[in-house]
Amino acid sequence: MTTTPPEAADPTRPALPASSPGRPLRGARHPAWRVAGVAFLTIVAAAAFGSAPGLLVEPLSADLGWSRAAVGLGVSVQLALYGLTVPFAAALMDRWGIRPVLTVALGLVVVGALATVGMTQEWQLVLGWGVLVGLGTGCMAPAFAATVTARWFTAHRGLVSGVLTAASASGQLVFLPLLSWLIATHGWRSASVAVALAAVAAVPLVLLWMRDRPADLGVPPFGSTVVVPAPAPARGAARRAVVALARAARTPTFWLLCGAFAICGATTNGLVKTHFVPAAHDHGMAMTVGASLLALVGVFDIVGTVASGWLTDRVSPRVLLGVYYTGRGVALIFLPALLAPTVELPMVFFIVFYGLDWVATVPPTMALCREHHGDDAPVVFGWVLASHQVGAGLVAWAGGLVRDHTGSYDLVWYVAGLLCAFAALMSLIVRRIDAAA
């Protein structure tokens, strides 16, 4: 695999040989932590884009008379494009560097969010929030976290990937109550403006402090003592993404991970993030209360994802995924009985558990991609994540459709719970099929 730095090398610094001893930086002094910090804050800002759809379903239906399936279609396009953009974004970061790609992505989000402020027809939601925001957020997905982790760290990779993945939950914690309050007091258009402002605020962080590789600063990755210069520029980013897909598609592991991760996306972003608040509202719960519960998921998501990263360094990722998906399925099957006008203790238990499990699947899935696909792992994980978002997009639309036709979300919760059993099985048999192959 060949890649390129995002910026020209410093002409005052002597060229490095194929590998050379690096400065023995340790602990917080290492610039890897600064880069990881910028990545964390950027992902936090990006969470504003993912927090809004579930809050917009009810207001758009009430204000513009759109069906929930119609609103779900806009969300579905956004989620699907988010995922399908990821593999190409990872390859583009290899070709042009992280900083330029993120800057363009943030610009797309600003334009897309602002375009929805004056919308009056359903296709405008699909174009602005679906296409533009979907393309922009696809460049700030977990594949971005995987790229930063792989380039800047050789030690604590599981922990760092867990922390960066938890950044999305941190953003959800910040933005869900804020957006819910804005919608309740100033209308749904204020949420679009807030999302655009969050994207604008992230741009200076990326331009000032994001760096592509440790070699750009003349240091080794954290955990290593050797500086390896960036390879020559890689051309044909799109072709590389397709070639990586073709190689990965020959292995059973890839399809098992894609299947399980599609169910992961369906049961998180597609179902709970999009439809939990309107489903709770159907049972008499105030939207601000439902949004606060969803934000609380983000609190425990941080704990669960960081813990999952730590466990991934010590326990078989296959076993971890089997446990995570099984627990998630059980929780979803019980959820319809827990929805009520007020928050009771069983609902609190559901929120805590689901938060701990929300994206705990990401660190072990990243680990399996690294284990089976080597240097192609960031791009392959991008394709696996694409399946996650396609699954999310299908359920975001299908959940609204079921609600329109049956008047309830109950059937969706039950089917999602059963699908989690299949995800657990697919995760647990990865090694057995590889061994047979």
* The pair of three-digit structure tokens given for residue 332, joined into one six-digit string: 């979803």
pLDDT at 411: 95
CA distance 39 to 167: 9
What is the chain's pLDDT, residue by residue, as a tens digit (437 residues)? 333 343 333 433 334 444 444 445 555 578 888 888 888 888 887 777 766 776 787 788 888 888 888 888 888 888 888 878 877 777 778 778 888 888 898 889 889 888 888 888 888 888 888 888 888 887 876 667 777 888 888 887 778 877 887 777 677 667 878 888 888 888 888 888 888 888 888 888 888 888 888 888 888 888 877 886 776 656 666 787 788 889 999 998 999 999 999 999 999 988 998 889 889 989 999 888 888 888 888 778 878 878 898 898 889 999 999 999 999 999 999 999 999 999 999 999 999 999 898 878 988 998 898 888 877 787 788 789 889 888 988 998 899 899 989 999 999 999 999 999 999 999 999 865 444 44
DSSP state of 10: P
Domains (range + CATH), the chain: 28-214+235-436 (1.20.1250.20)
CA distance 174 to 302: 12
Which residue, among 175, 60, 171, 190, has the nearest Cα to 126 in the 3D structure? 60
Are the beta carbons of 144 and 381 closer than 8 angstroms? no
pLDDT at 59: 85
pLDDT at 84: 81
Handedness of CA 361, 332, 356, 313 (dihedral sign): negative
Q: Give the 3-state secondary structure percentages of the chain, helix then strand then coil, rounded to 5.
A: 80, 0, 20
Q: Residue 185: is it exposed, middle or buried by C-beta count within 10 angstroms (0-12/13-18/19+)?
A: exposed
Contacts of 413 (CB under 8 A, 6+ apart): 271, 332, 333, 335, 336
Length of the chain: 437
The reported pTM is 0.71
**H or E segment to which residue 226 belongs:** strand 226-227
CA distance 342 to 317: 38
pLDDT at 67: 85
- Hey, what amino acid is at 294? L
Q: Which residue has the tokens 């599981």?
A: 158
pLDDT at 214: 85
